[in-house]
Chain A
Amino acid sequence: MVEQILFEVPTKFANGIADGSIVRIGTLLKDSMSGQILSHVQETGLAQKLLSNASLMPFSPLSALDLASSGYANMQLHQLKTMVEGLQMLQYANIGLAATGLGVSVLGFMLINQKLKGLESAIAQLSAQMDKHFQELAEKHLRHKFANIYVLFERAEQASFLRSPAQEWLTIEGQLGMESGFLRSEIGHHLTQNSFHYDWFKKMTSALAMCNAARIQCLLQANEMDAAQHASSVIADNYSDLFDPLSATQLAARLTEAEQDSREDDLHLFKLNQTKAAQMMLGLREMTDAAMTQPLLLEHLVSKEISGQAYLDAIKAQDQHAIILLTP
């Protein structure tokens, strides 16, 4: 039941995080001495609403937001930024996280579709500038694959109007799993190449994160908590396989190798690329950590017998705080 879910505001632990007695790992807060899990970080519908309206998003760190103007929305954004900084999640808006949510995603399927459409056209343009493999991909497969994904999100949006939607959620989740497998294999293929295309990688990774977040959302809607927990573990392992072997140095070297006609000397260029690559690595590490701790959040929901539907309803209904804490 919704009433049983106890949420708290992140400021409760701000001092502990600041003095190091509480540490954040992915989306959970832990007592650094006892090792006890204190809380799970969860964004609400308000966070996504705010970020969707912010023009700078979705590919910059939240710290880059210009909050100079006034207005209620801006005040809330400022509050979000303060919370994110308090939780030391400065990469919140970088790769994936803002697109897919902290904890469980509450992003509406139609909103994901809108974001994906923006990504698809950018990815197609970038693919055409890349090697032969990606040119073919852009022409033949990418459009087809993204069209499938759009249809699945439209069906997901429609599923909530069905009288018995559970089976439809499960079907959509299965098909999204296939599409995310395609995106994952393309990203994996790109990482086996000598060169590295920064923007393409970032956008494909965001698209992958959106698909996976929606899969978990579908399973929660269908109240298949064990399946959601299992799927989230597999997703976390996949991210770990893809991104853990990377390092900022390696990415910077690949970025430098990809630059053909540069007038800068190699070392200077490499150093410039290192800053960019370090930022990206922070985002990827955050994204993987968040995915790795998601099964623990779901495990907690199962142990408290909180249904997926009830949890989603509760976090969607939150309109006071962009980020809340689920305390055991």
Chain B
Amino acid sequence: MDRLEKIEARRLILSWKDRWSQTIQQRLEVESRQLQTELHAKIDQISFWDALFSGRYLRNTIQPLFTAWCQTKATELRAAAEQDLQSVVARAIPEEDLTPSLDAHSSKGTLLDVATAAISTGVAAATIPAVVAFSTATVSVGGLLGGLGFTTTVLVTRNLLVGLVFLVFLFLIALLRFKSIKRNARRRLKAKVDKQIIKKIHFSKKERSLAMGMTKMLETTADSLVRELRHG
């Protein structure tokens, strides 16, 4: 490859990186709305016991759905970006460079290998934030007895001390509040899911989101290719 061809190939690779970091963000933004709708629908069907133990519900029911969506989406986007990159490399490198030679580092084949290797290893790292996403998420049960100023722990210990009458009294009040328990749990869970979608999929200052993880993957891939072009 001559100097001008290398400059053009570099530009195409950088354009690929810029284009896909934008595309990934835009697609995640649009397609995560579907995830949000699905998770909200699931939460709408929540049972009383799940509402009562919503932290466990979030971990056991919502998180697997969220994680599976992130993994599927990351794989899907990676495959699309990789396919595009292969056509970029095919366009960027002249055919004659396919001829094997001792100094064929910047041949199409080598660049395609570098591209595929970098982008494939990158996708695992990109989805890690989403996988751990909900593990720390808990929903307070304060809604159940919050109005009475009790926590769940207090409920257990006090009941033992104060006796059966008070427990029955609380139970009756709780019965009256069953509907609002479910309603409040749904509201809180939905708010939590919405917040997590923003933080874990789009952007957060504190941790790397799926979009940022995938951008990093694109950057690493483009860097490897540009280096290979330069030194090849």
Contacts and interface: CB of A to CB of B under 8 A. Distances in A.
Interface of A: 25-26, 28, 30, 35, 37, 237, 240, 244-245, 247-250, 253, 256-257, 265-267, 270, 281, 285, 289, 292-293, 295-296
Contacts of A247: 17-18, 21, 215, 218-219
Interface residues of B, number: 28
Contact of B203 (A26, A245, A253, A295): A253
24 contacts: A25-B4, A26-B7, A30-B4, A240-B10, A240-B226, A240-B230, A244-B10, A244-B14, A244-B226, A247-B17, A247-B218, A247-B219, A248-B22, A249-B21, A250-B216, A257-B205, A265-B198, A266-B204, A266-B205, A267-B198, A281-B18, A292-B7, A292-B10, A296-B3
Given A244-B223, A245-B219, A265-B198, 8 more contacts: A25-B11, A26-B7, A240-B10, A240-B226, A244-B14, A266-B205, A267-B202, A281-B18
B111 interface: no
B8 interface: yes
Given A25-B7, A257-B205, A248 B226 contact: no
A245 B7 contact: no
A247 B4 CA distance: 23
Interface of B: 3-4, 7-8, 10-11, 14, 17-18, 21-22, 25, 198-199, 202-205, 211-212, 215-216, 218-219, 222-223, 226, 230
B219 A289 contact: no
Nearest to B8: A25
B93 to A, nearest CB: 13
Give the interface SS of chain B, mostly helix, strand, loop or mixed. Answer: helix
A289 B12 CA distance: 12
Contacts of A265: 198
A253 B14 contact: no
A296 to B, nearest CB: 7
Contact of A289 (B7, B21, B216): B7
Contacts of A244: 10, 14, 222-223, 226
A270 B198 CA distance: 12
Given A25-B4, A249-B21, A249-B215, A270 B11 contact: no
A237 B84 CA distance: 26
A30 B11 CA distance: 14
Nearest to A253: B212
Q: Which of B14, B21, B199, B218 has the most CB of A within 10 A?
A: B14
A28 B21 CA distance: 28
Contacts of A289: 7, 11
A240 B7 CA distance: 10
A256 B7 contact: no
B203 A270 contact: yes
